[in-house]
């Protein structure tokens, strides 16, 4: 492994957490500066915003998107669209480096030829959480999803195919990548309320990028 200032004792480990689900520890560390630089540009075009759920709640996580498709939510439901509802304009283009990271990580986990057309970026502050849900707004569930975590640590809940199945708690640290597909694609999952453990590079923020084949 290349030396990295932000590496930790788990960097380089590959943990299999399901038949087709893997945590690649520290896999995105070398990409972090470019990801963060891209976010600064992205958020000037499509700022982070707190969306409303169909149930009328405001999400504690703020989100934005890049790529041909972006995910959004309002009182009438969840959807992918080719334009940002805030501006009416196309979502920002997905940087080539995002595509490279996501497709390489997918290949390591056994999914060659992953070509994401959507990148949803979640921003967590202390106390932000994501309750247990399935990702099922994408058109084709045969493609995996790749997630990249940066900044503060989080505990993610890795459940089963039913909401009531017991969920495992898995810590996600700066630079970790999770890939899940096949029989794990529709598992319930979530993020516990974030503790304030400031990260030396990002401060009291966690960013999560999820790459999807949405359209």
What the block records as the tokens of 110 is 């056994």
Dihedral sign for Cα atoms in the order 116, 64, 109, 2: positive
How many of the chain's residues bind Fe ion (CB under 5 A)?
Answer: 1
C-beta of 127: minimal distance to ligand MD3 in Å? 14
Choose one: 29-37, 77-85, 161-169, 179-187; the region binding ligand MD3 (CB under 6 A): 179-187
| Residue 191 binding partner per list ligand MD3, Fe ion, none, with a CB distance cut-off of 5 to 8 Å that depends on partner kind | ligand MD3
Query: Does 180 help bind ligand MD3 (rule: CB under 6 A)?
Result: yes
Closest CA to 16 of 110, 89, 94: 110
CA 143 from centroid of its chain's CA atoms? 15
Convert residues 151-170 into a mask of x (bound to ligand MD3 by CB under 6 A) and - (unbound). Answer: -----x-x------------
State the DSSP string of 81-113. Answer: ESB-TTTSSBPPPPPHHHHHHHHHHHHHTT-TT
- Closest to Fe ion by CB, 7 vs 21, is 21
17-to-3, 110, 182 alpha-carbon distances in Å: 26, 14, 13
Query: Does 120 help bind ligand MD3 (rule: CB under 6 A)?
Result: yes
Q: Which residues bind Fe ion (CB under 5 A)?
A: 135
Q: Which residues bind ligand MD3 (CB under 6 A)?
A: 120, 122, 130, 135, 147, 156, 158, 178, 180, 184, 187, 189, 191, 208, 210
């Amino acid at each position: 492994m290349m030396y990295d200032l932000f590496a930790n004792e788990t960097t380089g480990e590959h943990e299999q957490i399901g038949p087709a689900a893997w945590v690649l520890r520290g896999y995105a560390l070398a990409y972090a500066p470019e990801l963060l630089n891209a976010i600064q540009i992205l958020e000037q075009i499509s700022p982070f915003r707190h969306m409303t759920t169909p149930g009328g709640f405001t999400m504690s996580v703020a989100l934005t998107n890049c790529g041909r498709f972006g995910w959004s939510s309002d009182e009438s439901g969840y959807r992918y669209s080719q334009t940002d509802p805030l501006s009416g304009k196309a979502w920002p283009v997905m940087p080539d480096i995002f595509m490279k990271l996501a497709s390489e990580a997918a290949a390591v986990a056994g999914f060659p030829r992953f070509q994401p057309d959507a990148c949803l970026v979640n921003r967590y502050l202390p106390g932000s959480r994501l309750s247990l849900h399935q990702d099922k707004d994408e058109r084709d569930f045969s493609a995996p999803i790749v997630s990249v975590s940066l900044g503060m640590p989080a505990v993610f809940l890795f459940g089963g195919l039913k909401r009531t199945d017991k969920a495992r708690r898995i810590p996600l640290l700066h630079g970790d990548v999770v890939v899940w597909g096949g029989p794990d694609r529709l598992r319930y999952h979530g993020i516990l309320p974030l503790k304030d453990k400031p990260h030396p590079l990002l401060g009291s923020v966690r960013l999560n990028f999820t790459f999807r084949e949405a359209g």
